[in-house]
Amino acid sequence: MKDSDQITAGLNEEQKEAVTAPRQNILVLAGAGTGKTRVLVSRIAYLVERCGVDANRILAVTFTNKAAREMRDRLALILGEHSSRRLWAYTFHTASSHILRNFAAEAGLTRNFTIIDTADQLSVVKKVMEELKLPAEVWVNNVKYNARNYLQKIMDEKARGNRPGMEGESILPSFYDVYAQYQNRCDKSDQADFEELILRTCELIENQPRVRQYIRMKFQEILVDEFQDTNSLQYRWLKLISGAENLDPEKKPANVLIVGDDDQSIYGWRGAAAENMFYFQKEFAPVKMIKLVQNYRSTKAILSNANSLIKNNTRHLAEKNLITHNPDATMVKLLESYDNNDEAEEIAKTIRKLVDNLGRDPSDIAVLYRTNAQSRLIEKELVAYGIEYNIYGGARFYDREEVKNALAYLRLIINPEDNISFSRIVNVPSRKIGKVTLSKIEALHHEFGVSMFRAAEMYVTKNKSRPLKDFIALIKGFAARLEEIPGKSEDIAAFLKSVITDSGLRDYYQEKTAKEEADRSIDRTGNLDELISDIANRDYLEVEDQGIEAQGMAEPESDEEDDADNSDNKYSLRDFIQIYLASAALMPSSELLKSEENHAVNLMTIHCSKGLEFGAVIIAGFEQGLLPLERYSSFEKEDERLEEERRLAYVAITRAKELLFLSYAQTRMSYYGTYNTGASSFVEELDHNCLDTDLDFLDA
């Protein structure tokens, strides 16, 4: 057992207080760069080593898969591999998917349910709108809405905990009919979207006392990172998981520690509510608050500007002023340009000097911007100056056509009720299954209320369609092999390779790649190989969480002998594939950063930069109309919108460790013409004692 001094070594007094506090509800108000991840990891280690809490009874909730992996990796170094493997360290969505899979019957699902991503959700909405004879584009009050707007509204309703019919009004015509039909299609296909994972978990715990009892016995300590980014549904989820909802008054709730910073709340547009931190103080009372203000990331000049800016917001959970002992460096620099073309060139020239004259690694440089549209001119100039770059938060690897099709095969093999995957791959590669045949299958699907795959099986019993029979046999053959192949993680890559080859996907994309030879950026077979490599190297720690239901709702045991037998062969190949498919669906594009591998400059929106840090940061378009974004001026509660924009600028500034450039143009050209902009009003709120325009240091 490690001494508590070993666990807290190197921590400052406030961090130590958070790590060693008695087991209770705690709110850690952690400013940017104050070492919150280290505090979370050390707190978990302290609970295990000094308080005797079984790691299997601890739930650590993060907002990104990357953060969860980092937490487990750090804990493995402190506690060892055994304890770190027992810890539940997941995102809200991943933790929910594990709970639902373990209690699938009670949740109205099967263990084989699939998670659908945004693209698949959109295809369902479009089909529903067609069936309801709604036009693809709907005009309301001279504003155009389409399937994406309907989908966003559905997700908004779920994020508020609303089912079809629970709320009665929407400006979108027939919205609740679309919502009801959308959900009906997902339920029949044994599928869940992102918000459904959390909402259905909440309903499961609320409606199933035995499940609620198990969850309460399972988790004694819960830690939540980035709490300011939680929405109302996630807050409800936490209350239910912890027992704070008080549905079983005789049972003691779990202890909950939340970490957050209301000054970094930048996702209000998607439902995040920093107010949840206020609610937590009240509804989880008594709550101990601990503030972390010592910043380990940035220079004094950068922090002085950040503090000066954010103090202009009026809504704060508690006052805090970030401090640092980092040595002084250069001032924060203002870059002024005539227009956005000049700005893009100035940014490229600055990066060229940072690399050539100051020896900066390109991967340690980031260009941040408020809107994606700003990147086009910057990319053009980076190419002109011979600077490699990667766009962080761009298209997902898993959304590429060939990758999505390969995953659709796996999804249909696992879950034959998956109508989206059936429709996607039944003719990929082409099997010459005609539209007439597919329409008849669709008719059987609707008439008998069965899946498209089952409808296809019904069709071939009375109709001659050799290609369709072969496709059905192919899928069923792969499904049978899942039961034959021993459940070892290394077998999953071989299985996927076989699926890609035997289905004809590899040959199909080799031919397609040859036809697209003029576009060297497309390497479809290479992407399939990358997918095989990805599935082989995936961390399958979660497989150990797949069998908790087997304990028959009894109190979770802490059996060392049982844990020692947690070898791969206890699990089926199906278990591993389910985990991989879930992780692929839940992996956002904002986590796919590869610039460190090829020494390229990072380009991203400010929202995507949250949680990252770079030696040198250039904020492009630090000007009126962009930051704060002009369109917000038409909204009600403009002061609240302005405060969120100020928090966004604060987040951007605090991504910088040593060098920070604020770039703006006097005029900006767009599709609608040229208009005057100039420096952002936020510039006036900065610390002008730590701000200048001198760039001579770049020519050193």
pLDDT score recorded for residue 269: 76
Q: Centre a 10 Å sphere on the Cβ of residue 604 and count the other Cβ atoms it contains.
A: 24
pLDDT score recorded for residue 679: 95
pLDDT score recorded for residue 329: 77
Q: Per the structure block, which two tokens stand in for 515?
A: 């036809």
β-partners of residue 323 are: 294
Task: Give the span between the Cα atoms of 247 and 25, in whole angstroms.
Answer: 19
300-396+593-699 shares the fold of 4-105+201-292: yes
Task: Give the right CATH number for 398-537 from 3.10.450.50, 3.40.50.620, 1.10.486.10, 3.40.47.10.
Answer: 1.10.486.10
Least confident of 117-121, 431-435, 478-482, 539-543: 539-543
**Domain regions of the chain by residue span:** 4-105+201-292, 117-192, 300-396+593-699, 398-537
**Phi, psi dihedrals of residue 227, rounded to the nearest 5°:** -65, -25
pLDDT band at 588 (very low <50, low <70, confident <90, very high): low
Q: Centre a 10 Å sphere on the Cβ of residue 466 and count the other Cβ atoms it contains.
A: 11
The one-letter code for the residue type at 405 is N
- pTM comes to 0.87
Which of 485 and 445 is assigned the larger pLDDT? 445
H or E segment and range at residue 182: helix 175-188
Class of domain 117-192: mainly alpha
β-partners of residue 91 are: 62
CATH number of 300-396+593-699: 3.40.50.300
Task: Give the span between the Cα atoms of 114 and 116, in whole angstroms.
Answer: 6
Q: Average pLDDT of 465-483?
A: 92
Strand, helix or coil for residue 235: helix
CATH 3.40.50.300 applies to domain 4-105+201-292: yes
Task: Give the span between the Cα atoms of 116 and 423, in whole angstroms.
Answer: 14
For residue 558, how far is the Cα from the chain centroid? 31
pLDDT band at 485 (very low <50, low <70, confident <90, very high): low
Q: Are 405 and 425 in contact (CB under 8 A)?
A: yes
pLDDT band at 648 (very low <50, low <70, confident <90, very high): very high
Count how many residues are written for the chain: 700
pLDDT score recorded for residue 560: 43
pLDDT band at 542 (very low <50, low <70, confident <90, very high): low
Task: Kindly list the catalytic residues.
Answer: 36-37, 225-226, 264, 655
Q: Centre a 10 Å sphere on the Cβ of residue 520 and count the other Cβ atoms it contains.
A: 7
β-partners of residue 337 are: 665
Sign of the torsion angle spanned by Cα atoms 391, 393, 394, 395 = positive
pLDDT score recorded for residue 546: 46
pLDDT score recorded for residue 4: 64
Residue 563 above 60 pLDDT? no
pLDDT digits (tens, 9 = 90+) for 591-616: 544 444 568 999 999 999 998 999 99
Place of tokens 């045991």: 557
